[in-house]
Amino acid sequence: MKKMLIALLTILMLISLTACGGGTQPPSEGSGSGNSVSKDPGTYKIGIGCAMTGTSATYGAMMKCGAEMAIAEINEAGGVNGRQLELVALDDKQDASEAALVAQRFADMDDLQFVIAHGGSALTLAAGPIYETAKLPFFSCCSSSPSLTQQGWEYYVRFGTRDDGVAPSCVAFLKNNLGFSKIGILYENTDSGVGNYESCVKTAKQLGVDIVCAETYNTGLEKDFSTIINKFQRSGCEAMCIYMAHDDAGLYLNQAHALGFDLPTAGCSGIAYATTVEIAGADAMQNVYMLLAFNPYSEREFAKQLNAHFDEAWNTEDLPSEPCGISYQIIYAWKQAIEEGATKENVAQWIKNTTDAKDYVFTLDPAHALQGDDVHFEEDGDQVLGGISIIKVDEAGNFYDYGMEVDSTGVVRD
């Protein structure tokens, strides 16, 4: 009887503790540190959905780093309308199903202003309807499929470039700048990779370029590219376009160099990482041209500001990649719109110039624009594309500005 009484008292004590908040609760995911999300109503909360674990964690870390640096700068300068900014980061694991779960979690947060989402087109396609239903503005820095802005989403803005924006520039560069008419294309078997390939085929027809060989591969799974490289060697191609993740590109370039296949090779921002150079080796990078919509070596003061903070935050030989730079710019674009008079309810429409709340064209303040003095947006949410810059790697393995822009003569984009 005494044992039963003790057990009953123990149960009652546990119930009492739980009712008073004494139970253990899992911490909320905050700004990358695992801290609980603040309930301070005086802050503007901003979400970011990106890969924080898995093979794409570096990519996601770049996205998050850019947003964190902008928020730190703005908070130090007094915030937005006197309110501090706070980042709420959730891990989408670079997986479409996980992105939908992350989107629902964000949609359930009533005090969230907008979300930077996500690191891939398939993820944004999966998550978009959830944000749209919740009327939660969502801005992407690196989801590149043209289909995204064809969904008719009212609350979506794309700050990065489309597949048919940068990808055709690789073909144009090889033909117009370097003079090659026979090319090979290697692309990853993803929505983005296929989109890049399709854009290249269209551009090749426009410019009279012959795609003599095209091969695809499964990203993260292909470890031996020798068979693919041999096909390109036998094809008679004069130059290559590659659309690959940075680690895959490193493997391919290393093996191609070992097999004596060192043709001029054009690729997009996905290969502009120190990891690519580390895996490939500096020697294998000497004929590689990386085409970027955002030039990290720009003389623009805003780009210099980004670089200075990135060097301190990242502390590696890496560049502030497009995911980093564009996330950084997104925060400033939102700040500008809010300070002009936009609200959470119409900020996406404000940036896209589709709201009746103003009678002028929203253009990024040149002091806070990375890509030019006239950065504005189409009504569907696409950013108007500026020039494409070229980055290379020197013999010591360091990145540098090639000092040339792509000649896009003859390229007709939809």
The pLDDT tens digits for 257-294 are 999 999 999 998 889 888 899 999 999 999 999 998 87
Rounded to whole angstroms, the Cα distance separating 165 from 406 reads 12
pLDDT digits (tens, 9 = 90+) for 401-413: 998 888 989 988 7
Please indicate, yes or no, whether residues 324 and 232 belong to a single structural domain of this protein.
no
For residue 385, the model assigns a pLDDT of: 65
Please indicate, yes or no, whether residues 45 and 112 belong to a single structural domain of this protein.
yes
Please indicate, yes or no, whether residues 118 and 223 belong to a single structural domain of this protein.
no
Q: Sort residue 70 into left (φ over 0), alpha (ψ -120 to 50) or beta.
A: alpha
For residue 331, the model assigns a pLDDT of: 97
Name the more confident of 293 and 368. Answer: 368
Q: Sort residue 394 into left (φ over 0), alpha (ψ -120 to 50) or beta.
A: beta
Q: Which residues contact 212 (CB under 8 A, 6 or more apart)?
A: 182, 183, 184, 235, 236, 237
Q: Does residue 5 belong to any structural domain of this protein? A: no
For residue 408, the model assigns a pLDDT of: 87
pLDDT digits (tens, 9 = 90+) for 233-265: 999 999 999 999 889 999 999 999 999 999 999
Q: Mean pLDDT score of the chain, rounded to an integer?
A: 86
* Predicted TM-score (pTM) above 0.75: yes
Distances (CA, A) of 350 to 286, 368, 381: 44, 17, 11
Please indicate, yes or no, whether residues 253 and 311 belong to a single structural domain of this protein.
no
State the pLDDT confidence band at 24, using cuts at 50, 70 and 90.
Answer: very low
DSSP string, 17-29: HHHTT-S--PPPP
Rounded to whole angstroms, the Cα distance separating 265 from 174 reads 8
For residue 279, the model assigns a pLDDT of: 96
For residue 299, the model assigns a pLDDT of: 84
Please indicate, yes or no, whether residues 179 and 211 belong to a single structural domain of this protein.
yes
Q: Does residue 287 belong to any structural domain of this protein? A: yes
Angle between helices 121-134 and 191-207 (to 10 degrees): 110
pLDDT digits (tens, 9 = 90+) for 30-47: 443 333 344 455 899 999
Please indicate, yes or no, whether residues 298 and 217 belong to a single structural domain of this protein.
no
Please indicate, yes or no, whether residues 262 and 192 belong to a single structural domain of this protein.
yes
pLDDT digits (tens, 9 = 90+) for 96-112: 999 999 999 999 999 99
Q: Which two tokens stand for residue 13?
A: 């004590």
For residue 84, the model assigns a pLDDT of: 98
For residue 403, the model assigns a pLDDT of: 87
Q: Does residue 4 belong to any structural domain of this protein? A: no
For residue 6, the model assigns a pLDDT of: 36
pLDDT digits (tens, 9 = 90+) for 166-217: 788 999 999 999 999 999 999 999 877 888 899 999 999 999 999 999 999 9
Q: Sort residue 236 into left (φ over 0), alpha (ψ -120 to 50) or beta.
A: left
Classify strands 156-158 and 138-140 as parallel, antiparallel or unpaired.
parallel
Bridge partners of 114? 46
Is residue 20 scored above 70 in pLDDT? no
Is residue 163 scored above 80 in pLDDT? no
Q: Does residue 3 belong to any structural domain of this protein? A: no
CATH number at 349 reads 3.40.50.2300
For residue 40, the model assigns a pLDDT of: 52
Is residue 93 scored above 70 in pLDDT? yes
For residue 287, the model assigns a pLDDT of: 98
Q: Does residue 76 belong to any structural domain of this protein? A: yes
Is residue 140 scored above 90 in pLDDT? yes
pLDDT digits (tens, 9 = 90+) for 46-57: 999 999 998 788
Please indicate, yes or no, whether residues 302 and 276 belong to a single structural domain of this protein.
no
- Domain limits for position 216: 164-292+388-405
Which alpha helices (H) appear in 149-245, and where do they start and end? 163-172, 191-207, 226-235
Bridge partners of 112? 45
Please indicate, yes or no, whether residues 269 and 315 belong to a single structural domain of this protein.
no
pLDDT digits (tens, 9 = 90+) for 281-335: 999 999 999 998 878 888 888 888 988 888 888 766 677 888 888 999 999 999 9
For residue 78, the model assigns a pLDDT of: 96
Is residue 28 scored above 60 in pLDDT? no
Q: Does residue 9 belong to any structural domain of this protein? A: no
Q: Does residue 8 belong to any structural domain of this protein? A: no
Q: Does residue 11 belong to any structural domain of this protein? A: no
Is residue 19 scored above 70 in pLDDT? no
Total structural domains in the chain? 2
Please indicate, yes or no, whether residues 47 and 68 belong to a single structural domain of this protein.
yes
Q: Which amino acid is at 28?
A: S
Which alpha helices (H) appear in 90-190, and where do they start and end? 96-107, 121-134, 163-172
Rounded to whole angstroms, the Cα distance separating 395 from 397 reads 5
For residue 3, the model assigns a pLDDT of: 37
Please indicate, yes or no, whether residues 397 and 271 belong to a single structural domain of this protein.
yes
Phi, psi of 351 (to 5 degrees): -70, -35
Please indicate, yes or no, whether residues 269 and 309 belong to a single structural domain of this protein.
no
